[in-house]
Structure 1
Amino acid sequence: MVSDTAPSGRRRELLDAAVHVIATEGLRGLTHRAVDRRAGLAEGTCSAYLRSRQALQVGLAEHVGRSLAHDVDVLAARLEEARAGDPERDEPLAVELTTDLLGRWLDRPELTLAKAELAVEASRNPEVAAVLISWRSRLVAVVDQLVSRVAPEAGAARAEVLVAALDGLLLAALQRPPAERHRFLADSMSLVLHGLTQP
């Protein structure tokens, strides 16, 4: 489960550096020494805080998950605030706010790439998987509320599919030239959200 307590001081500095390492060098490049180098700290610093490779991976998954979960909670609050508005605006507003969230993740490619690398590791590492499932369940819950408002008969399974589609869109957008990413994301989001929220 992702802790809501953010790391502070040196540990946060190391985890921020680890995000950049895994995003640029992949999981194979995620070593204590590489994190120390990226953070500009003396060799051995990272291993003093995160003693094993497993501890480093789990700590990084918690760090990434915490950041993403915070963004999802903000999205949920914004959708709740808008709930008292015109029901006819539910779907367009949902598309707008969700696209805005993914756009912000797109502007933080290191975080998105780190999440993708950790997702691959989660397929064979139960501890990392448990952390990622925790934050992802928050996103699925928010999306389920969103879908149930605009398509009450859709069912919870549609929220899972939608979250998987959003993951794919982010990665597809990152493979495009930077100048094209946001337009691709906005156009694709409109198609996907509209299609998956219809009865």
Structure 2
Amino acid sequence: MARNPERRTTLLDAAIEVLADEGARGLTFRAVDARAGVPTGTSSNYFDHRDQLLSQVGDRIFARLTPPPGAIDTAMRPAPGRELLVELMRRAAGRLAAERTCYLGLFELRLEAVRRPELRTQLTKVLRSDLDENIRLHLDSGMPGDADTVRVLYFALTGLLLDHFTVPELHGDRDLDSLIETVVTRIAPAD
């Protein structure tokens, strides 16, 4: 198995693009090689099989979606409250919109996980860890609401972004920021 970390990252980023553009059925070694602009057969030197590629694509997506070090501490400086919660949700949505391909790739991985128990186990573990960390940060910071508030906000933002990226016409004339504010004010208790 090849050991060039930069090439592996290039291949994984290309795989994310293929996954977002063509879905899981289009994710082949040949398609990844073509998207990465490398000779045919390169991907198979880095990944033993398609399941390994899918698994590592998931890891790469989460690495790209994770905020940079210190970003959370900086974001949490203002006093906790519903206003800060709206701002944090907007920042999260902005980060995900900036990595639209990753987020669409993640949705494709979720669909593929329905058919692949190993991928579902890995994806569940990572998503659960992320949600648990968000709950911990929310509670430790004194933000309004409880663990269920965070869960419902998570589910709402996930669905809102799925619609935003796939059928934004459903929003009508409402922009994403105003929808996020509505979601937060309807779900999170007043300060």
Distance 1:161 1:142, change over 3 A: same
Q: Which runs of 5+ in 1 are unaligned?
A: 1-6
Which residue in the other structure is 2:55 paired with? 58
**How far does residue 142 in structure 1 lie from its aligned partner after superposition?**
4.4
Partner of 1:3 in structure 2? none
Please state how far the C-alpha of 1:51 moved relative to its aligned partner: 1.6
Distance 2:129 2:18 in 1: 26
User: Equivalent residue for 1:191?
Assistant: 182
Query: 1:67: Cα distance to partner?
Result: 1.9
Please give the TM-score of this superposition, normalised by the length of structure 2.
0.82
Letter in 2 for 1:76: I
2:168 matches 1:176? yes
The secondary structure found in structure 1 opposite 2:9 is helix
Q: CA deviation at 1:107?
A: 2.6
Amino acid at match of 1:66: A
Residues 157, 170 of structure 1: CA spacing in aligned structure 2 closer, same or farther, 3 A cutoff?
same
Amino acid at match of 2:40: E
Partner amino acid, structure 2, of 1:187? S
Q: TM-score, normalised by structure 1?
A: 0.79
Q: How many residues matched?
A: 182
What does the per-residue CA deviation read over 1:79-113, in whole Å, with 9 as the maximum and x for residues that have no partner?
44x1xx444xx221221122022112113221111
TM superposition outliers: structure 1 runs of 4+ over 4 Å: 72-75
> Which residues of 2 match residues 1-199 of structure 1 at below 5 A?
8-68=5-65, 70-71=66-67, 76-80=72-76, 82=77, 85-87=78-80, 90-144=81-135, 145-146=137-138, 149-152=142-145, 154=146, 156-174=147-165, 175-176=167-168, 184-198=175-189
Partners of 1:21 and 1:186 lie apart in 2 by 29
Map Cα deviations across residues 150-172 of structure 1 (whole Å, 9 max, x no partner): 335x3x23322221211111111
Does the 8 Å contact 1:22/1:29 carry over to 2? yes
Does the CA-based 8 Å contact 2:85-2:143 persist in structure 1? no
Q: Partner letter of residue 72 of structure 2?
A: A
- Compute the RMSD of aligned alpha carbons: 2.6
